[in-house]
Structure 1
Amino acid sequence: MQTVVIVIHLMIVATLIATVLLQKSEGGGLGIGGGAGFMSSRGTANLLSRTTAILAAGFFITSLFLSWLASYDRKPSSIILPTTQSQPAGGAAPTVPSSGGVLDSLKKSDERQSQPAPSGPEAPHSQ
């Protein structure tokens, strides 16, 4: 299902890019885009602007649907505290992880880094 919506979404994106590039520039910001092109009639401009609006709405709808579809089966979880993946067989009480979470592991790594390094052989000092 998600693959089908992604393919439709990409087809809408490619068509939207093409229709935006086909439209006539009205600003002439860099001195280009003026003059008569092969699509200079007003009817073509109306058709391209309507097509752009329809494709933009399709892009918006498929984007919302893809974000909803991605979060449909997501289970709430915490990034701070680790959760147990499965219950042990036999009705035993769940075990508490020894690490204690992300904050505790960061605190332990800071403590290890603050300890002085073991002293080894040193180079002679010049006086």
Structure 2
Amino acid sequence: MQTVLIVVHLLIVIALVGAVLLQRSEGGALGVGGGGGFMTGRGQANALTRATAILAALFFITSLALTLLANLHRAPRSIFDTPGAATPAGQAQPAATPGTDVLDQINQIQQQKSGAAPAP
């Protein structure tokens, strides 16, 4: 599913770049690109403007869909489940038992500093 959506996304990107490049510039280009050409007239300009808007909307939709698909099977994580920050130089970090969370590690560190026996 994700591969199909990526291919559709890339096709939309290519079409969007083409639609933007086909539009007539409105000055500031020192005369480059002006004059007659492939797409002239108001009707074609309106069609290109609409096509660009539609392609831009599709681009955002496919981008959001790809983001949701990428995060669909990812389990949420909490910052409290990760090990604590590094200790300053000169201090030894106490060994944490596997499977404990940050709060248990903080309690162990405080107990080791105070020299008290661990609470049940």
Q: TM-score, normalised by structure 2?
A: 0.65
State the distance in 2 between where 1:17 and 1:58 align: 13
| Identical-residue share of aligned pairs (%) | 56
Show the counterpart of 1:119.
Answer: none
Compute the displacement of 1:80 (Å): 5.6
| Aligned match of 1:78 | 78
Tell me the distance in 2 between the aligned counterparts of 1:33 and 1:102: 59
Measured in 2, the distance between the counterparts of 1:39 and 1:10 equals 24
8 Å contact 1:2–1:66 — kept in the other structure?
yes
Answer yes or no: is 1:59 the counterpart of 2:38: no
More helix by share: 2
Aligned-residue Cα RMSD (Å) equals 1.9
Q: State the partner residue of 1:111.
A: 90
TM-aligned CA deviation for residue 6 of structure 1 = 0.8
Report the secondary structure of 1:33's partner residue.
Answer: coil
Larger radius of gyration: 1
Contact 1:12 1:59 in 2 (8 A): yes
In the aligned structure 1, how far is the partner of 2:14 from the partner of 2:79? Answer: 37
- Provide, for residues 14-64 of structure 1, a one-character-per-residue CA deviation record: whole Å limited to 9, x for no partner: 1100110011111x1131333222221222212211111111111111111
In structure 2, the partner of 1:30 is 29
Is there any run of 5+ residues in structure 1 with no aligned partner, and where?
83-100, 113-127
Aligned length in residues: 90
Per the TM alignment, residue 79 of structure 1 is displaced from its structure 2 partner at its CA by 4.7
Partner residue in 1 for 2:108:
none
Distance across 2 between alignment mates of 1:65 and 1:6: 10
Give, in whole Å, the separation in 2 of the partners of 1:12 and 1:71: 22
Structure 2 regions of 5+ residues with no counterpart? 92-120
- Distance, in Å, in 1 between the alignment partners of 2:67 and 2:49 is 27
Q: Distance in 2 between matches of 1:53 and 1:33?
A: 22
Instruction: Note if 1:39 corresponds to 2:39.
Output: yes
How far did residue 5 of structure 1 move? 0.6
| Runs of 4+ with deviation above 6 angstroms | none
